[in-house]
Amino acid sequence: MNTPSKSAPSKELSCQLLLSLAVLCSGARSRLIEYRRLKRKDERRRRRQRKANVDVECFRLDFELNVIVDLAFTDAMNGKELGKLVRQMGRVWGIQKSKPLVYLSPDASLPPLEDISSSMAYVIGGLVDESGVGSLSKHRAESLDIEVRRFPIVEYMKRANRGTFNVMLTINQVVEVLARYAYCRRWDQAFVAVIPKRSGYVLKGT
């Protein structure tokens, strides 16, 4: 007597299981895609709310602050760095006048900037240097025979236990330090308000 074959039903059952799994996987994938889409949408909404709720601190300067951005470093930057430069320039604007120049560079070998004057114009290197080449703005100033100074950050601040310990500021941060110092005439207050906490620098005596 012939034994009934079980291969056909087993094969049919396997196909049904595979089809069910495929449907489940497809549904799970669709739900995952929709979840990610909604999450991105919510994140964009939260970012817009944060930007709308940011309090912009404004203060009036009874001081003529002259700032020039030197844009001679484009060949030294890659596409990403150039993009950041454009965004930084979007936050500031410079007024070029015929005045004595002081080039600001964190690599300056001369004594730090002690004070600022409305009779001087302060030059900022239009450079985003994520590769850490360094000293480009200093070399540029020296080639133009312009006095090079740095902010007195290490004179007023010390290293904390952790941080990047990077004293290179963005263009808009340099302008803000100058503006805040022109307003309050105190480097410590200007540095605390502008220098990022992640740098690891804190005021001396704290």
Give me the active site residues, please: 129
Whole-angstrom distance, CA of residue 180 vs CA of residue 190? 5
- Cα(66)–Cα(119) distance, rounded to whole angstroms? 8
Contact 112, 102 (CB under 8 A): no
Three-state DSSP class for residue 202: strand
Distance, in Å, from the CA atom of 121 to the CA atom of 151, rounded to the nearest integer, reads 15
Determine which helix (DSSP H) or strand (DSSP E) holds 181, and give its type and residue range. helix 171-184
Say if CB 76 and CB 125 are below 8 A apart: no
Tokens of 159: 């290293």
CA distance 129 to 86: 13
